[in-house]
Amino acid sequence: MFKIIKKEILNPTVTLMKIEAPLIAKNAKAGQFVILRVSSDGERIPLTIADYDNNTITIIFQIVGATTYKLNQLNENDTILDVVGPLGNPTNTKDYKKVIVIGGGVGCAIAYPVAKQFHLEKSNVTSIIGFRNKDLIILENEFKQVSNQFYILTDDGSYNKKGFVTNQLEELLKQDSSYDLVIAIGPLVMMKAVCNLTKIYNVKTIVSMNSIMIDGTGMCGCCRLTVDGKTRFACIDGPDFDGHSIDFDEAIERSKMYHSIERNAYDHVCNLLKEEKKNV
Amino acid sequence: MFNPSKEKTYMPVQDANVRNKNFDEVSLGYDCNSAINEANRCLNCKNTPCVSGCPVGVKIPDFIGKIKEGKFEEAYEIINNTNTLAAICGRVCPQENQCEKNCVRAKNGEAVAIGRLERFVADFHLNNSSDDNIKKVASKNQKVAVIGSGPAGLSCASELAKRGYQVTIFEALHLAGGVLVYGIPEFRLPKSIVQKQIDHLISLGVEIKTNVVIGKTITIEELKNTYNYKAIFIASGAGLPRFMNIENENANGVYSANEYLTRINLMKAYKETSDTPIVKANKVAVVGGGNVAMDAARCAKRMGAKEVYIIYRRSKEEMPARQEEVEHALEEGIEFKFLTNPISIGKDSNNFVNKIRCVKMKLGEPDASNRRSPIVIENSEFDIEVDCVIMAIGTSPNPLIRNSLSDLKVEKWGGIIVDEETNATSIESIYAGGDAVTGSATVILAMGAGKKAADSIDKYLSLKK
């Protein structure tokens, strides 16, 4: 059992939890993830490690399905049934001097530890983070602290500059050809758009694939994707991949595999919990 | 009194049309009378051909002799001396290729039902004894780490615990049992039986740590240096699923058997209470001819599929699956497409699978596996309409440990290289066995390897003291 040390509501749909997990914390590195399970007979879901110290790991999750809904019902001092990790390969933050880190929406939770690691390794970090609107903004100050240049955009212009992260990216790439890496983490469509752009400017681009997973150790193959025409597993071969080699269209379709089932499960769980509250 | 019947004593099963809609165990097992009746078919041959067919050398005529006398607990003790997972092996061993294959009674009629008798004896023991009476063996102060809680890990841990070592099993999933809990379905191997075997291990003093991935959560170096384990047994299995590399294999609704079975068995997708999503398909094609293919097909049927096909490129004779499973699958309405091989998968505009394109095959000369190799018949393409495809064409050893341990010598295909006599790897104090070494094989072979490694670890640590 894993105790929740701290819970913070970052915005109406995104929650941060700091969890006591000394074994995982000890070997965790930026870019890695955990798999957790909230209840017996429950689903196993992957979540990226957003931060870690000697004793704890931090996760940031969006409430999208039955499991994240149940997870969000837990409070400080409650325990999470199962947490396993750190899984996947850490992001390579060693070999680059000037990088652009792009975070989209809740993907910022994954992009932040990567930006922080680059910062600690003395790289020049430019961060571009984007959100649909002002209410959904997370980690703004955290990003500022680890970035040499910092840009924040909203799709609707309700906070700061209006536009997509790709608008800002293109502006930067036009002016300056000395970036040696772009890392993009966010919705698949955003990562695809970033890759299409960086291909034109010929800048190496790494993306983090947050596929559907069960075990996270290479056993089930449900996180598979096509990279350079070959089938790879996000859990053990990734989650980071060369964005210019990924078949994004396939990945986007695969991410929708359980959409309708999940929607039903989510509604079901919400209704059950509402019933319970009524009856208490 | 000798029973001259040429046929095995009948073991009751759930009716095929009832059981193909539930996940309860298919076979119901012998009662005392039918067990004694079947035991009386055994000739008690002096040269014990059955024993030589058993990978772990269970003293078969001896335990059957005790059944004849009605001394079931004594029969259990005889099996347990060589096989600590009898309730499991009685259910999942391919007896027809092992002990029963050599049975003298099989020369004129059916072999003695050794598997059913083993199962009866083990179940009798589980139902009539309690672990409370077990004396924990005085502990040696040497610690041994076992990586993986499948059959190889469980048997190695059990042997070492009996000899007084402090044993910890590390399991990556949230539940111990390995393939016994994520792979083999409830209707073939009830999880309560696996749990009883694991509880028994715990009563022997074995510690089980779930949610720990060795190579990630804890490295092998840390096991040795930080946690002071004096020997390590790698039993991480062959969990990496293979795919065919055919067109649209990544379409939605195409599963590896591992994923499909894990969602159902480990994550209980068949229960109303489970949050685990799974595609509810009407027409399912399972590709492969082993036990895993049978399990996947029979699960699909139980999940409500109207038509379930098993697509296998050779004929019925070459199928590696246990005979009983093939028969049960047929009875449950699974349709076999023998001498058929998929060449591509079709999908609709939403990326969901809608058909599988196959070719007809014929059998040629025997190949390296001594089975006649399948050859494509030209212009024999045809489509089968399906909304789910399950690939059950084998698995490779899990790469996580070898990737984190560069000195570990492995085969090109990923199997860990070990000394055949001792199961020692290329690194001192590290041993390996089971599917991690052999690639996907049987429960009993993995168990045998676990036992052998336990012997070697015992010798190694005794010398080091």
Report whether B234 contacts B194 (CB < 8 A). no
pLDDT band at B406 (very low <50, low <70, confident <90, very high): confident
Judged by CB atoms closer than 8 Å, whether chains meet at A218 and B218 is answered as no
Place of tokens 């295909």: B413
Contact, B74 vs B58, CB < 8 A? no
Q: Which tens digit of pLDDT belongs to each residue from B58-92?
A: 999 999 999 999 999 999 999 998 898 999 999 99
Residues A68 and A149 in one domain: no
What's the CA gap between B422 and B418, in Å, rounded? 8
- CATH 1.10.1060.10 occupies which residues in chain B? 16-128
Q: Is residue A263 part of a domain?
A: no
Would you say domain B143-239+396-464 falls under CATH 3.50.50.60?
yes
Instruction: For residue B252, list its beta bridge partners.
Output: B352
Q: How many domains does chain A have?
A: 2
On whether both A60 and A148 belong to a single domain, the answer is: no
| pLDDT at residue number B171 | 97
Residues B4-23 pLDDT 10s: 999 999 999 999 999 999 99
Same domain for A35 and A78, yes or no, is yes
pTM here is 0.92
Put simply, the answer to whether A218 touches B240 (Cβ < 8 Å) is: yes
What count of other Cβ atoms lies within 10 Å of the Cβ of residue B222?
15
Nearest CA in chain A to B395: A219
A71 and A114: one domain?
A: no
Inside any domain, residue A251: no
Across the interface, whether the CB atoms of B250 and A231 are under 8 A apart is answered yes
Residue appearing with tokens 């469980």: B154
Statement: residue A280 has pLDDT above 60: no
Binary contact (B262, A217; C-beta < 8 A) = no
Tell me: do A16 and A46 sit in the same domain.
Answer: yes
Provide the CATH number for the domain around residue A14: 2.40.30.10
Res. A211 pLDDT band, cuts 50 70 90? confident
With an 8 Å Cβ cutoff, are B400 and A218 in contact? yes
What's the distance, CA A239 to chain centroid? 10
Residue ending a domain, choose from A165, A191, A208: A208
Given an 8 Å threshold on Cβ–Cβ distance, is B239 in contact with A218? yes
Residue B400 has pLDDT above 90, yes or no: no
Where is B451: in which H helix or E strand?
helix B443-464
Among the candidates A44, A67, A87, a domain finishes at A87
pLDDT digits (tens, 9 = 90+) for B289-319: 999 999 999 999 999 999 999 999 999 988 9
Q: B56 versus B386: which is more confidently predicted?
A: B386
CATH number at residue A162: 3.40.50.80
**What pLDDT was estimated at residue B135?**
58
Radius of gyration of chain A (CA): 18
Specify whether A112 is located in the same domain as A17: no
Cβ count near A39 (within 10 Å): 16
Are A222 and B256 within 8 A, CB to CB? yes
Does the domain spanning B16-128 belong to CATH 1.10.1060.10?
Answer: yes
Question: Are residues B217 and A84, on separate chains, in Cβ contact within 8 Å?
Answer: yes
Q: Are residues A81 and A50 in the same domain?
A: yes
pLDDT (0 to 100) of residue A170? 94
Residue from A87, A220, A267 whose CB has the most chain B CBs within 10 Å, to mutate = A220
Read off the pLDDT of residues A227-254 as tens digits, 9 standing for 90 and up.
999 999 999 998 999 999 999 999 999 9
Residue B133 has pLDDT above 70, yes or no: no
Provide, rounded to the nearest whole percent, the portion of chain B with pLDDT above 90: 83
Q: How far is B232 from chain A (nearest CA, A)?
A: 19
**pLDDT digit string, tens, across residues A20-46:** 999 999 999 999 999 999 988 788 999
Average pLDDT over residues B426-431: 96
In a domain, A199, yes or no: yes
Query: Under an 8 A CB cutoff, do A221 and B267 touch?
Result: no
pLDDT at B139: 79
Question: Which chain A residue shows the shortest CA-CA distance from B403?
Answer: A236
Same domain, A121 and A147: yes
**Residue that is last in its domain, among A176, A208, A240:** A208
Beta bridge partners of B27: B13
**CA gap B128, B136 in Å, rounded:** 20
- Do A146 and A81 belong to one domain? no
Give span(s): CATH 3.50.50.60, chain B. 143-239+396-464, 243-393
Q: Is residue A120 part of a domain?
A: yes
CATH class of B243-393: alpha beta
The answer to whether residue A262 scores a pLDDT higher than 70 is no
Residues A76 and A121 reside in one and the same domain:
no
Q: Are residues A76 and A105 in the same domain?
A: no
Task: Find the CB nearest B258 among A81, A216, A220.
Answer: A220
Residues in B lying within 8 Å of A, measured between beta carbons: 172-174, 182, 210-213, 216-219, 239-241, 243, 245, 249-253, 255-256, 258-259, 262-263, 267-268, 271, 273-279, 350-351, 398-400, 403
pLDDT over threshold 60, residue A113: yes
Residues of A with CB under 8 A from a CB of B: 23-24, 27, 37, 39, 41-44, 66-67, 70, 81-87, 214-222, 224-226, 231, 236, 250, 253-254, 256-258, 261-262, 265, 269
Q: Which domain holds residue A117?
A: 98-208
